[in-house]
Structure 1
């Protein structure tokens, strides 16, 4: 087994790099675009700063529709959009498009929930001191929600590591694709187990790092 792993080491390194590329691009984009969407969902929601029922229903429904798509179906369904954006429907870049589209509403819902769970007294105190809506969001809500947001990012990253394993369907590579090609198709069970162990290790590193960062930001601890 070890001789075979050494032989396949360049393929393993490439697969790890491909998985890392998918996450390094899609997760920050999801945070960048999902955060304002989540703030908007919270702000116009029933417990928000400026309740707009109709607009909230439209945005809420749109987020639910996109989130309800199984990633495998979304991956195939938006191939024309993927081809338009990156010029190809295969490869690592082609996987990043559906990953990002799926991750944006995913994280936006996390942001909305995290903000909704904050103590309303904090917002009222900021209002009594004359803070504007922008200041309340930037200096109060997002600061208070930092530990929960870090936890949400951690959960999202772990989830999308498993999503990236489907990259092989569009020739995107990644460690999941490596496990399927060498472990499943070639009946090399040892290689598949090694790839699974590697995925578990990556998930554990992400989870432990995220949990520690969240605790360090929590002022209650």
Structure 2
């Protein structure tokens, strides 16, 4: 029982590692991609329709691929990046690749909902394009961006459990090896409870932070 408890703690820590690192990568690159999508459209700050269409198509392609298929397709790329296709760090690569376009689309929606009047006011006062991004777009869209990152984190927790099925470690791996393969219902139940608690904490914390950042409330 003690050994199983230690395995449970280790698996939980592995899940936290892969999700937190992948979420950080997705937040940085996803937000950058969202800003590109918002600012390169026709009539936008850095209008470049061909770049906008290209980026939009790439995002749509990666978002349409189921995670388990993406996990397998990216095996050569994963090995190239981290030197292995098993373990926590191997799971970070596909989680990040799936998370970047997912978060980018959510952040794009929040950025596009910013009042155009505020943007035009900054431009009328002589503000440069990067002033619009830094002083208007990001601050105004921040609550929505935080909510989008929360949704991305919740999705990643589910995907990390799926990654455990192919040797990525974490709670999913524990559920497969010690719960499903050994027909141990207690292990399966313990993993389920752990995932539910983790998702609930992330969702509650993300919602609270988004409300705190929303000055309109």
- The TM-score normalised by the length of structure 2 is 0.96
Matched, 1:50 2:30: no
Structure 2 alignment gaps of length 5 or more: none
> Aligned residue for 2:131?
135
Runs of 4+ in structure 1 deviating by more than 6 angstroms, as ranges, are none
Q: Deviations over 1:55-98 (max 9, x none)?
A: 21111001100111111001001111111111111111111111
For 1:217, the equivalent position in structure 2 comes to 213
CA shift in 2, pair 1:47/1:70, >3 Å: farther
2:22 to 21, 26, 35: 26
Matched, 1:198 2:194: yes
Say if 2:86 and 2:168, in contact at 8 Å, map to a contact too: yes
1:106 corresponds in structure 2 to 102
Q: Give the whole-Å Cα distance in 1 for the aligned partners of 2:44 and 2:155.
A: 28
Aligned-residue Cα RMSD (Å) equals 1.3
Aligned residues: 217
List runs of 5+ in structure 1 lacking aligned partners. Answer: none
Q: What's 1:92 paired with?
A: 88
Contact 1:95 1:170 in 2 (8 A): no
Contact 1:107 1:153 (C-alpha < 8 Å) held by counterparts: yes
The answer to whether the Cα contact below 8 Å between 2:25 and 2:96 also exists between their aligned partners in 1 is yes
Query: 1:39-188, aligned counterparts within 5 Å?
Result: 39-46=35-42, 48-188=44-184
Q: How far off is 1:7 after superposition?
A: 4.5
Task: For 1:47 and 1:210, locate their aligned partners in 2 and report how far apart those are by CA, in whole Å.
Answer: 33
Paired with 2:28 and 2:133, the residues of 1 have a C-alpha distance of: 15
Shift of 1:169: 3.3
Do the aligned partners of 1:94 and 1:170 also contact (CA within 8 Å) in 2?
A: no
Q: Is the 8 A contact 2:68 2:163 kept in 1?
A: no
Q: Tell me if the contact between 1:89 and 1:170 (Cα under 8 Å) persists in the aligned partners.
A: no
